[in-house]
């Protein structure tokens, strides 16, 4: 293990406070007695206070008022707010990234990447603010016009997870704001400072541009606040990112009140490695996707399905890379793997490894814990590779930790069937230089996931495409492409400029 020193608790807390203050967070105003330990050292950063479920009512009420004013502001003018927010994020990129590293344990490069993703979605949304296009269709009647118009939807509730504590909110908020909606955000309870910093930057942009008050609000609180948001009839769209279990609770409650829901849930993402794969590129692609963010992305690669002709060689290469992985303090230059979010996450990882062994798998590398002596409350796990010969129960479930199951295949049909034989459907990839295989994997009878990549790992999607997946992943699409349509309502307009009343479908109703 390379030498690495866990910084003193006070040092990390001071770093967090400085970064938050630079973003405009009023630390005294949010201070309280809810402990927020950093996964970096397991010690408190800045205990905060939580809102209660009742404040959700007030927030939604205020958001509704803001929406009524905002919806008539021209979309490109709304875009100016998002443009300014993107500029402020650019100025404070490293402050927000520092908070992400401290609260989530992300390495600096990935934390900066998360903020870059926010800046990118702001750029995208600003462009979009002039492109909220509706279609014109040909009418079946003489001198009639048929068209559709997209209008602002209402209050958007955003529930985000710890692993992308800022970017997922930004995907939703940047798009919602240009679409003319207001936003109420319930971030993960373990990332309050990152949330506070993001909200403070957006607040500043809102003040500078003199937008309606309460256009965007953040509720630092617990599960009860989230549940109140989910059940609130004033929330027109509820966009939730998290576990499948959470989605199963949220989906029906929103559906029951005929609200709109956008779910971004678990993944169990696989890569197929074909006989023609470039194994250097494949190894790098796999290792980034499998151990980046310490295996805690919803797009993390959890399975490798490798052709029997390459599986042994591939396992050797990735195992070799795993043995050399720099695991340690995420803020230290050179670290590639930071800590897991909590002791529970590490115990879940151990349980899964044990189950895998019981189900016939062999743990080839990893699974141990590092730096325990320096920081007993921090959980630095060694990413693990497990060789299995089939997809047992533990392989089919999502364990939010760096465990990579590797299994062999003979025919592409079999590999595609294995890719699809899990309850989740977020991301997938194939490493191949055979164009027919690549096309087949992207085709109707190929991968059943929302994201299907060729010669790239399963994680690290760009914001320009729609992000999300099928089955237990929840079916939602956010971020780029036409995901903005989730945040607007569509009106179909028929215009008669004929001077006569003619009825559709040739109906005769002469009076």
The pairing of beta strand 427-431 with beta strand 451-454:
parallel
Distance CA(10)–CA(330), nearest Å, equals 17
Residues 79-118 that bind ligand UN1 (CB under 6 A): 117
Distance CA(511)–CA(506), nearest Å, equals 15
Q: Can you tell me which residue has the tokens 């189900």?
A: 359
Closer to ligand UN1 by CB, 182 or 399: give it: 399
Strand order through the sheet with 136-137: 136-137, 144-152, 488-496
Task: Decide: 408 and 41 in contact? Cβ < 8 Å.
Answer: no
Closer to ligand UN1 by CB, 424 or 459: give it: 459
Distance of closest approach, residue 77 Cβ to ligand UN1, in angstroms: 29
Distance of closest approach, residue 292 Cβ to ligand UN1, in angstroms: 8
Q: Which long-range contacts (CB under 8 A, 24 or more apart) does 505-511 make?
A: none
Distance CA(269)–CA(207), nearest Å, equals 42
Classified as helix, coil or strand, 17 is helix
Exposed, middle or buried, 3 (CB in 10 Å: 0-12/13-18/19+)?
exposed
Region of 29-37, 59-67, 183-191, 294-302 interacting with ligand UN1 (CB under 6 A): 294-302
Closer to ligand UN1 by CB, 432 or 459: give it: 459
- Contact flag: residue 301 with ligand UN1 (CB under 6 A): no
- Contact flag: residue 282 with ligand UN1 (CB under 6 A): no
Task: Decide: 226 and 56 in contact? Cβ < 8 Å.
Answer: no
Closer to ligand UN1 by CB, 117 or 382: give it: 117
Distance CA(207)–CA(214), nearest Å, equals 11
- Contact flag: residue 342 with ligand UN1 (CB under 6 A): no
Distance of closest approach, residue 479 Cβ to ligand UN1, in angstroms: 8
Question: How many Cα atoms are found within 13 Å in the side-chain-facing hemisphere of 94?
Answer: 3
The pairing of beta strand 466-467 with beta strand 269-273:
unpaired
Distance of closest approach, residue 458 Cβ to ligand UN1, in angstroms: 8
- Contact flag: residue 269 with ligand UN1 (CB under 6 A): no
Distance of closest approach, residue 460 Cβ to ligand UN1, in angstroms: 5
Query: Which of 103, 189, 264, 398 does the annotation list as catalytic?
Result: 264
Tokens of 369: 């814990």
- Contact flag: residue 461 with ligand UN1 (CB under 6 A): yes
Distance of CA 425 to the CA centre of its chain: 14
Q: Which of 460, 468, 475, 476 binds ligand UN1 (CB under 6 A)?
A: 460
Region of 293-301, 310-318, 328-336, 484-492 interacting with ligand UN1 (CB under 6 A): 293-301
Distance CA(362)–CA(385), nearest Å, equals 8
Q: Could you give the string, one character per residue 229-248, with x where binding to ligand UN1 holds by CB under 6 A and - elsewhere?
A: ------------x-------
Tokens of 262: 């956008």
Distance of closest approach, residue 311 Cβ to ligand UN1, in angstroms: 25
Judge whether 439 counts as a catalytic residue.
Answer: no
Task: Decide: 258 and 86 in contact? Cβ < 8 Å.
Answer: no
User: Minimal CB distance to ligand UN1: which residue?
Assistant: 461
Q: Which of 38, 216, 428, 459 binds ligand UN1 (CB under 6 A)?
A: 459
In Å, how far are 17, 302, 330 from 339, measured between CA atoms?
Answer: 21, 18, 8
Distance of closest approach, residue 164 Cβ to ligand UN1, in angstroms: 4
Residues 35-64 that bind ligand UN1 (CB under 6 A): none
Distance CA(461)–CA(482), nearest Å, equals 16
Name the percent of the chain in helix, strand, coil, to the closest 5.
40, 20, 40
> Which parts of 403-453 fold into alpha helices (H)?
412-420, 435-442
Region of 47-55, 75-83, 296-304, 319-327 interacting with ligand UN1 (CB under 6 A): 296-304
- Contact flag: residue 453 with ligand UN1 (CB under 6 A): no
- Contact flag: residue 477 with ligand UN1 (CB under 6 A): no
Closer to ligand UN1 by CB, 298 or 314: give it: 298
Region of 12-20, 291-299, 353-361, 390-398 interacting with ligand UN1 (CB under 6 A): 291-299
Q: Can you tell me which residue has the tokens 């696989």?
A: 270
Residues 111-170 that bind ligand UN1 (CB under 6 A): 117, 163-164, 168
Q: Could you give the string, one character per residue 201-230, with x where binding to ligand UN1 holds by CB under 6 A and - elsewhere?
A: ------------------------------
- Contact flag: residue 298 with ligand UN1 (CB under 6 A): yes
Residues classed as catalytic? 264
State the residues that interact with ligand UN1 by CB under 6 A.
Answer: 117, 163-164, 168, 241, 297-299, 459-461
């Amino acid at each position: 293990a390379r030498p690495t020193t866990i910084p003193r608790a006070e040092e990390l807390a001071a770093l967090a406070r400085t970064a938050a203050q630079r973003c405009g967070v009023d630390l005294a105003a949010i201070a309280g007695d809810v402990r927020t330990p950093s996964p970096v050292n397991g010690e408190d950063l800045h205990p905060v206070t939580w809102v209660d479920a009742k404040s959700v009512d007030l927030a939604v009420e205020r958001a509704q008022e803001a929406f009524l004013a905002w919806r008539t502001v021209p979309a490109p003018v709304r875009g100016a707010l998002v443009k300014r927010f993107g500029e402020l994020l650019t100025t404070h990129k490293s402050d927000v990234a520092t908070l992400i590293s401290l609260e989530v344990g992300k390495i600096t490069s990935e934390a900066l990447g998360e903020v870059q993703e926010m800046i990118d979605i702001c750029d995208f949304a600003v462009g979009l603010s002039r492109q909220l296009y509706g279609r014109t269709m040909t009418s079946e009647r003489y001198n009639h016009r048929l068209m559709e118009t997209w209008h602002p939807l209402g209050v958007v509730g955003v529930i985000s997870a710890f692993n992308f504590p800022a970017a997922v909110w930004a995907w939703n908020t940047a798009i919602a704001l240009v679409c003319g909606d207001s936003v109420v955000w319930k971030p993960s309870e373990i990332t309050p400072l990152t949330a506070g910093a993001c909200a403070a930057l957006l607040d500043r942009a809102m003040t500078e541009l003199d937008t309606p008050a309460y256009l965007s609000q953040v509720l630092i609180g617990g599960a009860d606040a989230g549940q109140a948001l989910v059940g609130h009839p004033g929330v027109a769209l509820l966009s939730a990112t998290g576990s499948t279990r959470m989605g199963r609770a949220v989906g029906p409650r929103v559906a029951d009140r005929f609200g709109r829901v956008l779910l971004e849930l678990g993944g169990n993402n696989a890569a197929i490695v074909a006989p023609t794969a470039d194994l250097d590129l494949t190894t790098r692609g796999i290792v980034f996707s499998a151990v980046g963010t310490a295996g805690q992305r919803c797009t993390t690669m959890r399975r490798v399905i490798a052709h029997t002709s390459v599986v042994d060689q591939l396992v050797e290469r990735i195992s070799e890379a795993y043995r050399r992985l720099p695991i340690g303090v995420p803020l230290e230059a050179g670290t590639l793997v930071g800590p897991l979010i909590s002791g529970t996450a590490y115990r879940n990882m151990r349980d899964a490894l044990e189950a895998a062994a019981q189900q016939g798998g062999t743990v080839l590398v990893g699974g141990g814990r590092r730096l325990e002596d320096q920081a007993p409350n921090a959980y630095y796990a060694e990413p693990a590779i497990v060789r299995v010969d089939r997809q047992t129960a533990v392989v089919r479930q999502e364990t939010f930790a760096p465990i990579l199951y590797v299994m062999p295949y003979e025919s592409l049909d079999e590999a595609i069937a294995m890719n699809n034989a899990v309850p989740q459907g977020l991301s997938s990839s194939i490493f191949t230089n055979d164009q027919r295989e690549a096309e087949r994997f992207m085709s109707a009878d190929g991968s059943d996931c929302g994201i299907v990549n060729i010669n790239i790992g399963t994680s690290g999607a760009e914001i320009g495409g729609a992000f999300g997946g099928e089955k237990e992943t929840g079916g939602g699409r956010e971020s780029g492409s036409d995901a903005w349509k989730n945040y607007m309502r569509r009106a179909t307009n028929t215009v008669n400029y004929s001077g006569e009343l003619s009825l559709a479908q040739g109906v005769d109703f002469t009076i």
